[in-house]
Amino acid sequence: MAVQYAKPMIGYLATGILVLALLRFGQAIFIPFAFSLFVIALVAPLQIRLQRWVPKLLALFVTLSSTIFIIVAVGSSVTWGLSRLGQWLFLNARRFQDVYVHWTDWLEEHGIAIAGPLADRFDVTWLVSFTQGLAGRLNSFAGFALLVFVFVMLGLLEIEDFAKRLRSPALQPQGMNMLHANREISMKLRRFMLVRTFASILTGLIVWAFAYFAGLELAAAWGAIAFTLNYIPFLGPFVATVLPTLFAIGQFDSWQMALAVFVGLNLIQFLIGSYLEPRLTGASLAISPFAVIFSVFFWSFMWGVPGAFIGVPILIAFLIYCEKSSVAKWIAVLLSAKAFDNSDRTST
């Protein structure tokens, strides 16, 4: 009996490993494809509504133009912020070099030797080149964006025909289940991105105000960076907190001021990310925090920064499909707080 159960499990495990390996090694295609499905889920309702009033191609043009404008606006904000930071670091590289030497001497006086070979190789210009290189990579995603654009355009052109095929009697009941799941995914992803956008704008404005009143230079740049990176759960706010803290060490040459900046930024991120956002999203998007963290780190391991950005939307889609399946519904109950709450209510 145990052998009979073990054989299917081994088969499922082997299949899963092969699929993950395919997603990892084929990321040049799968990342743009995943992003295109994500964008289609967000903008398809706009496309369908516009088609009621204007021709299909004109509705497609308006939808794609609006999508491109929003993506370029969000991407340009972090690019501008990192470019400003890179310019400032280039002009003030000597200050950071002196701060490094000062902190190294202080640590050595207290018995913590970190200089050695590191001191011989350290050059603050690596920080400048890293920042400028990151901004350059953000500016050079034209090929990726073009592929996503093509996928989105073809998907929006075929979305109505695809829905008709799902209603075909030959695909029932799987077709209607998939159609209902897709609609629910689209609705939840739109709500997720609406709340995330509001939280990102609020985070950017508060970080800008905090940096300005704290006397931290490049306050607008820090606000723009915090606004964009807030779209990446956990990893984005962490980077948006650490970078200004390191910058504050170089600007003020005071660990007390750097600590104040670090605490203030973390407080902002905590209040918005852990208190405000869950209240705005409500129970419909309540997902286990462990599942969210695992999804972000897993997909960042698989696909890098794009994977970290799209990890939570993939998790949302996965949970909805599991919830619609009688075989995999237990996964949705296990990972979704909403499903768990519903089961509690029915039992009471």
Q: What is the pLDDT of residue 143?
A: 66
pTM for the full model? 0.77
Beta-carbon contacts of 233 under 8 Å, excluding residues fewer than 6 positions away, are 273, 292, 296, 308, 311, 312
Tell me if residue 254 falls in helix, strand or coil.
coil
Cα–Cα distance for residue pair 112/264, rounded to 1 Å: 28
Q: In this predicted structure, what is the pLDDT of residue 202?
A: 93
Check: CB of residue 155 under 8 Å from CB of residue 40. yes
pLDDT at 323: 85
- Residue 304 phi/psi, 5-degree rounding, is 75, -150
pLDDT at 346: 39
Report pLDDT for 341: 44
The 3-state DSSP class for residue 168 equals: coil
Residue 45: CB atoms within 10 Å:
14
**Within 13 Å of residue 135, how many CA atoms lie on the same side as its CB?**
19
252, two tokens = 């003020």
d(CA 281, CA 193): 10
Q: How far apart are CA 296 and CA 315, in angstroms?
A: 9
Residue 146's pLDDT is 79
Successive 10-residue mean pLDDT values, the chain, 348 residues: 54 76 85 90 88 86 88 82 80 70 67 51 54 56 76 86 83 82 89 89 93 90 91 84 84 81 91 79 70 87 86 89 82 69 41
Contacting residues for 176 by C-beta, under 8 A, at least 6 apart: 166, 167
Query: What local confidence, expressed as pLDDT, does residue 224 receive?
Result: 92
pLDDT at position 257 is: 86
